[in-house]
């Protein structure tokens, strides 16, 4: 996929550390990627690989005082978000960059009506009041296909199903027409049928609004259904990145191949699921070499000595592994 316009988001060498009594935990350790308008980038990897902290870093919501962004740049629409003041970031969040979290029941306020929660964002960022505000709220709910939206404005979160709560959360996020939507495992709390409906709805909204999406997930089925590109994270770093087709057809990093082998094959009956041996590394005590080396079936001596450089596997497809040969330029 080629893009004539410059990227909407450029992340360069982003580093977020947590300073604790145990030491410094490098939750995000040099992450770089770009994202264009209308594009979906999936961040995948095991729990603790740095996906969610990366997203929180983009909007400057890293838990303080332990968590700190210690390096890098986050260029959004040509401006470095890491250089903005807290007041300036409050004007960016919700209006230009919005988030959808994985559990809508805990992300929605149980004491406020749905209409109040959707309307709060619009009121703060666009200054609407009265009938105009109500109409905007109704439009946001209808856009996410909330049935009988006008009668549900006064309802509370517990009166909605899980799928409808996630739609309400998305309505809040999209109410001010943001340019970037960060969806942190938005389908985890949904059953499979509702997941499919929600993803189809998200694709429709994205196509109509041109919003860029960062999708955090551990489900490769969701990646195949919605993502344009994939970034595989391990121990706070992106170890492989490429288009969805490239990563699925030619997984180049041993960790990516291990993740794909964990997927069940419905064509094979009574097949034992493959697991990745060992445990993820302690991010406070990362080895000098590749952090995946202790679990890697292709481990070499050099893997314990230094982290591998990022090489081009193909055009737009990169991996960080000593065993991956660099692409020969045409």
Domains detected in the chain? 1-96+179-184+209-309+320-330 (3.40.50.300)
pLDDT value, residue 330:
45
SS3 162: helix
CB 24 within 8 A of CB 183: no
Determine the Cα–Cα distance for residues 93 and 89; give it in Å rounded to an integer.
6
Phi, psi of 25 (to 5 degrees): -95, 115
pLDDT value, residue 269:
63
Tokens matching residue 216:
């955090």
**Per-residue CA distances from 245 to 37, 40, 104, 280 (Å):** 20, 13, 31, 27
Tokens matching residue 17:
């550390």
Look at residue 264 and tell me whether its pLDDT is greater than 90. no
Other C-beta atoms within 10 Å of 17: how many? 23
Over residues 161-180, the pLDDT tens digits come to 888 888 898 888 888 889 99
Q: Give the confidence band of 199 by pLDDT, cuts at 50, 70, 90.
A: confident
Segment of 48-57, 154-163, 213-222 carrying the highest mean pLDDT: 48-57
Answer whether 0.85 is exceeded by the pTM: yes
Tokens matching residue 238:
């992106």
Phi, psi of 136 (to 5 degrees): -65, -40
Least confident of 237-241, 284-288, 292-296: 284-288
Look at residue 256 and tell me whether its pLDDT is greater than 50. yes
CB 181 within 8 A of CB 100: yes
Q: In what order do the strands lie in the sheet with 237-243?
A: 97-100, 180-184, 212-216, 40-44, 229-234, 237-243, 317-320, 310-314
């Amino acid at each position: 996929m080629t893009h004539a316009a410059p990227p909407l988001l450029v992340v360069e060498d982003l580093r977020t550390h947590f300073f604790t009594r145990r030491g410094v935990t490098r939750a995000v350790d040099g992450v770089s990627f770009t994202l264009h308008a209308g594009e979906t980038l999936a961040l995948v990897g095991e729990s603790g690989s740095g996906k969610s902290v990366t997203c929180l870093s983009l909007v400057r919501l890293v838990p303080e005082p332990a968590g700190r962004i210690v390096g890098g740049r986050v260029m959004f629409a040509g401006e470095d978000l890491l250089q903005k003041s807290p007041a300036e970031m409050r004007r960016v969040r919700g209006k230009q960059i919005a988030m959808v979290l994985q559990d809508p029941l805990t992300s929605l306020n149980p004491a406020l009506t749905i209409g109040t929660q959707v309307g709060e964002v619009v009121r703060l960022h666009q200054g609407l009041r009265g009938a105009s505000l109500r109409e905007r709220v109704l439009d946001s709910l209808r856009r996410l296909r909330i049935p009988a939206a006008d009668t549900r404005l006064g309802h509370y979160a517990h009166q909605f199903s899980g799928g409808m709560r996630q739609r309400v959360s998305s309505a809040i996020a999209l109410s001010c027409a943001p340019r970037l939507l960060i969806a942190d495992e938005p389908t985890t709390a949904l059953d499979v049928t509702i997941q499919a409906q929600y993803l189809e709805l998200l694709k429709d909204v994205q196509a109509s609004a041109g919003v860029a999406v960062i999708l955090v997930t551990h489900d490769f089925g969701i990646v195949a259904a919605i993502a344009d590109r994939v970034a595989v994270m391990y121990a706070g770093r992106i170890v492989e990145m490429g288009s969805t087709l490239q990563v699925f057809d030619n997984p180049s990093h041993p960790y990516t191949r291990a993740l794909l082998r964990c997927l069940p094959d419905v064509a094979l009956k009574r097949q034992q699921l493959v697991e990745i041996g060992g445990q993820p590394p302690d991010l406070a005590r990362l080895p000098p070499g590749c952090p995946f080396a202790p679990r890697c079936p292709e481990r070499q001596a050099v893997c314990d000595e230094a982290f591998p450089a990022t090489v081009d596997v193909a055009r737009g497809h990169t991996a960080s592994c000593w065993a991956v040969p660099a692409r020969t330029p045409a």
